[in-house]
Amino acid sequence: MGLRIDQEIQWSKACRPYVTKNELDKSARFRHSADAVRHIAGRALVRRMLEAAGHKKFDDDFFLNPYGKPYSPGSGLHFSISHSGSMVWAAFCREAPVGIDVESQLTLPDLADLATQLHPREAQAIDSFSPEERTAAFYRCWTRKEAVLKALGKGLSLPLNSFQVRVDSSDTNWLVLPPDEDCRAEAGKNQHAPEHGCGQEEDFSKQGAAPATWTSQDVWCAGGYQCSVAALASGLEVDLCVITDP
């Protein structure tokens, strides 16, 4: 579910009844008002959805896991929040942990340096695009990987080169080499993850090689943005809803 925050004052007023004092205090420390509004809008969106799912009004602060991912104990609903530019998105799933990432596609003068953090196959694939298409390919890769990390609840504590996603424009089943305990340990020791995973001989870059234990999909949110969602269960359907008015 996504919110388009074009009217900051109106959205701020609409969201305030659904956020805590601590969340308001944190939003007041943001340097830019747009960041403050996006922060409380994401929290408000989750609380409204928890209520819509049949849970009592949740007035307390969310719990945070050791890596900073918020959760609501006892709700039975997994969720993930992301915001960028004027977009605030949240993903919800009953069946499994879920992660979502949205990014405004800005020009990246340091794209080549950023790509060195990725899996070698991803960096090579991005470099194969024309200069005009390379930025979009990078953002596809980045949001897909962020969605996976958020589903795992690990954030960037898990090396970006320890798992692989496709970077082409295919918008489903783009996770081809999922995070693995052995791969995580190996990637933590070495600068680059092994090209074929941990001891595996298959070419995981082939189309349709998506792991059976994940759902991975891009969602269209607005022009100039890239948004991706991942969940730790296979065969899930992704339903979309975008709200433009407070």
Domains of the chain: 1-94 (3.90.470.20), 95-234 (3.90.470.20)
pTM: 0.85
Q: Give dist(CA 198, CA 6) in Å, integer.
A: 46
Q: Tell me the per-residue pLDDT of 174-206, one tens digit each, with 9 for 90 and over.
A: 999 888 744 333 323 333 333 333 323 233 333
Mean pLDDT value across residues 12-41:
94
Longest dimension (CA), the chain: 55
Least Cα distance to 241 among 230, 227, 97, 233 occurs for: 227
What DSSP line would sit under the chain, residue for residue? -EEE---HHHHHHHHGGGS-HHHHHHHHT-SSHHHHHHHHHHHHHHHHHHHHTTPPP--SPPEE-TTS-EE-TTS--EEEEEEETTEEEEEEESSS-EEEEEEE----TTHHHHHTTS-HHHHHHHHTS-HHHHHHHHHHHHHHHHHHHHHHT-GGGS-GGGSEE--SS--BS-EEE---HHHHHHHHHSSS--TTSSS--S-TTSTT---TT-EEEE---STTEEEEEEESSSS------EE---
The sign of the torsion formed by the CA atoms of 191, 197, 199, 203 equals negative
Q: How far apart are the first and last CA of the chain?
A: 14
**pLDDT at position 38, please?**
95
Q: Are 77 and 53 in contact (CB under 8 A)?
A: yes
How does the average pLDDT of the chain come out, rounded? 85
Mean pLDDT value across residues 221-235:
94
Which range scores top for mean pLDDT: 24-33, 69-78, 180-189?
Answer: 24-33
Q: Give dist(CA 200, CA 180) in Å, integer.
A: 12
Q: Tell me the per-residue pLDDT of 76-115, one tens digit each, with 9 for 90 and over.
A: 899 999 999 999 999 999 999 999 999 999 999 999 999 9
Q: How many CB atoms lie within 10 A of CB 219?
A: 21
